[in-house]
Structure 1
C-alpha cells in the first residue's frame, strides 16, 4: 500500500498544490489570477495575461479548497476569481466569455465551448462552496452552452464560434464535450437539478458509446471530427506535436472519460457506465503505458505505437482519479493507483514545492520550463486528490 491511500497524505499533496499558487496568483491591481508561475521555482513570468480557462480553473481550485476544509484563505481566493470571471471575462454586448485578456482588455474574443464549460465548472464548484454570485454565474454559463453550442441533431456541443456568434467553426472535438460533461455533472451535484444530469448522460453516451460504434473505432475515442461528426483523421496529421489538438489517440483522455463515467454511475442507474469506464481505463494503460521508461504516452496509434511519447502531468493525475474511483468496485485497480502515484512522485511532482510539472520528455530529462498563456494551474492534481480522498482513503475520519 502506498501512502496515498491515506487521507493525510492526499490532503498534504492537495495543500502543497494550493500553496504553490497562493498568494502569488492573486492580483489585487488588475484583478483575477496570475496563472503564469514558473513550474520550477514559482516566479511570475507573465503578470498581465488572463486566460479564461486558467481563471475558471483557479475559481474551481480554491472552491475545492473550501469544500475540502483547506486553508482559510481559499474562500477569499475563490471569491476574488469569480468576480473577475463574471466581469472582466464576460462580454455583455454579445453574451459570451472572452478567451484572452491583456489585463482587463480583450485580445482574443473567440467563443470556445471548452472555455464556457470551464466557466460552468467553476461556478458549480463555487456554488457548492457557498461563494456569493455563483448560482447566477452557473445559470449564465449553462445558458450560453445550450443556446450557442448545443446541436440537438447530433446531441453534442460544437467547438468554437466567432466573437459575435455569426459563424460556428466546422471543427468538432472530443475535448470540449468531455469537459462540458464534467461541468454538467458538477452543476448537478451543486443544484440537484436533473436537467444537468440528463445532459451529462446524453453527452457521455453519445461520445463514449455511439460514436465509437458508428465509426468502427474498436471502442477507442477519436479526438477530431467534421461538422457532421465524422472522424477527421487528417486533422493536424502534419503537426503531431500540436499541444491541444494532436492526431492519434490520447491515453489520458481515455482515463479521464473513465473517471467521468464512474462519477456518472454514482448518480445514474444505467448499467453500462461502469463497464465502459473499465474498458476505457484498461485501454489507456494497455495502449499508453511506456514499459521501458514508465508513464503514459501523450498520443498513440490504435495499436499503441507512440506518436508523441512525452509524459504529461494531467494525464497521470486523471488516471489516478479514474483508478481510485474504479477501485471502489474492483480492488485490482488499486495496483494501478499505487503505480501511478509512484510514477508521479518520481518524475512529475516538484520535490521542492509540490506542484506538478506540465510535461516531460519520454526519458524524463527536463528540456524546458513549459511556459505559455494556456497554463495548467493545478486543476488536474487537485481534482483527483479530492476524489481520491473519499474513494480510497483508509483513514476517512482523519482531518
Structure 2
C-alpha cells in the first residue's frame, strides 16, 4: 500500500510538471501560464523568484527519475538565471525582460533565498556547475545578507545599500528551506547548521514573545513591529498579521530538520523540532482553517484580516502533513501518524478547488463573503505551480521513507 502511495505521488508531481512543459518555456526563461486556458501571459517580464521556482520544479522532476525533458527544462532555466538575472557583481536582478535587460535591479533577500534553492535542487539533479553555483551563492549570502543575528537582512539597492531598517521572517523562512535543500544536495553540515539557526531563532526565540505564534515583521534589531503595513492588508509579500500558511510551511521545515537530525550523526540537531512542528501545524488550523482552505491573514486577536484562501497555503499544509505523518511513524507515535494521514487526505481532496480548467493552480479563491471566485496570478507573477509541485515531491519522499522502514 505504501509503495502504491509512493507511485501515485510521483505521478502527480510529474503530471504537474507536464502541465508546465513545454508551454512555460520561452525562447529565454520561463513564461507564466494562465490556470484557465493554459496559455502564456503576454507580459515579457521575468521575475527572479518565478525563474528559480521553475528550475526547482523541473529539477525535482529529474530527482524522481522523470522524463528527460525535466533536465532539459531545468538547464534552460539555469542558463537564463546565470546569463540574464545574474549581475556583474554576483547578485541577481529581481525582474528582467525576456531579453535579459534589467527592469528592477533590487537585490531582494527573498529572491536570493530562491536562487540558493534553485542551485540546490539543480545540484541534487546532477546538473553541470550547480554545486559550484550553490557554493558561490552561499558565500554571496554570507557576505551580503547575513546580519549580526545570523539571519537575513532586508532588500538592498544595486549597490547593496539596505533600503529600510526592516527584517522579515518570510525571506528567512525561505532561506531555511534553501539551506535544507543545500544540505540534501551536498551532505555538507554547514548548510544544515544555517537552516537550524534560522529555524531556532524564528520559531523558538522570537515566537516566545507571541505565545508561540510566528509574527512576520521586525525592526533591524529583530524587535516585533506589530503595526508594519497595517494599512496595506493585501500587500503581495509583506501583509500585516499572522499567516496560517507560513505556520504550516515552518511545520514542514521543522519536520525535515528532525528527519536529518535523526539520520545524520555528524550534525547537531535542533532540539524538540518534531514537537514544535506539530504545534505550528495545529496553530495554523486554529488560526485559519476554514474547511476549504486557510484564510490568508489573521490579526493579533484571532480575527481574519484577509479571508481569501491562497492555493500555496493549502499546498504547503499538504506537504507538511505528509512530513509529519512520516516523522510520527519514525517516532512510533501511531495516533499522530494517523491524524496527519487524515489531514493529508483531507487537504488532497480540497486541492481540486484550486486547479483551473487547464490543470494549473489558481493563486487564490476569494472568501465566500466576496463570492468565492478563483483568481489567477498577475504578471510578472511568481506562482509557477511551485507549491503544489513541492507538496507532491514531499509526499513522494515521505512515503518512500515509510516504505523503506517497512521493508524486511
TM-score (norm 1): 0.92
Residue 199 of structure 1: aligned partner: 194
Residue 244 of structure 2: aligned partner: 251
Residue 116 of structure 1: aligned partner: 112
C-alpha distance after superposition, 1:286-328 (max 9, x if no partner): 111115xx32111112343211110111001100111111112
Label 1:229 to 1:57 Cα distance change in 2 as closer, same or farther (>3 A): same
Deviation of 1:47 (Å): 4.8
Deviation of 1:5 (Å): 7.8
Q: Residues of 2 paired with 1:20 and 1:194: CA distance?
A: 36
Residue 273 of structure 1: aligned partner: 273
Q: How does 1:149-188 map to 2 (within 5 A)?
A: 149-152=145-148, 154-188=149-183
Q: In the alignment, which of 348, 361, 377 is matched to residue 354 of structure 2?
A: 348
Q: In the alignment, which of 70, 77, 82 is matched to residue 73 of structure 2?
A: 77
Check whether the contact 1:16–1:353 (CA below 8 A) recurs between aligned residues: no
Residue 376 of structure 2: aligned partner: 369
Q: Gaps (5+ residues) in structure 2?
A: 262-268, 329-335
C-alpha distance after superposition, 1:315-357 (max 9, x if no partner): 0110011111111213111111111111112x1123x433221
Check whether the contact 2:86–2:92 (CA below 8 A) recurs between aligned residues: yes
Deviation of 1:98 (Å): 0.5
C-alpha distance after superposition, 1:139-191 (max 9, x if no partner): 12111111001013x22110211111133531110110000000001111111
Check whether the contact 1:296–1:311 (CA below 8 A) recurs between aligned residues: yes
C-alpha distance after superposition, 1:46-66 (max 9, x if no partner): 352111111111111110010
Q: In the alignment, which of 285, 304, 307 is matched to residue 306 of structure 1?
A: 304
1:32 equivalenced with 2:29 (yes/no) = yes
Q: In the alignment, which of 354, 360, 368 is matched to residue 365 of structure 2?
A: 360
Q: Gaps (5+ residues) in structure 1?
A: none
Q: Residues of 2 paired with 1:304 and 1:323: CA distance?
A: 23
Aligned length: 385
C-alpha distance after superposition, 1:377-397 (max 9, x if no partner): 011111110111132479959
Check whether the contact 2:257–2:270 (CA below 8 A) recurs between aligned residues: no
TM-score (norm 2): 0.90
Check whether the contact 1:58–1:78 (CA below 8 A) recurs between aligned residues: yes
- Which has the larger displacement, 159-168 or 141-150? 159-168
Q: Name the Cα RMSD after superposition.
A: 2.0
User: Which has more helix, going by share of residues?
Assistant: 2
Deviation of 1:8 (Å): 3.5
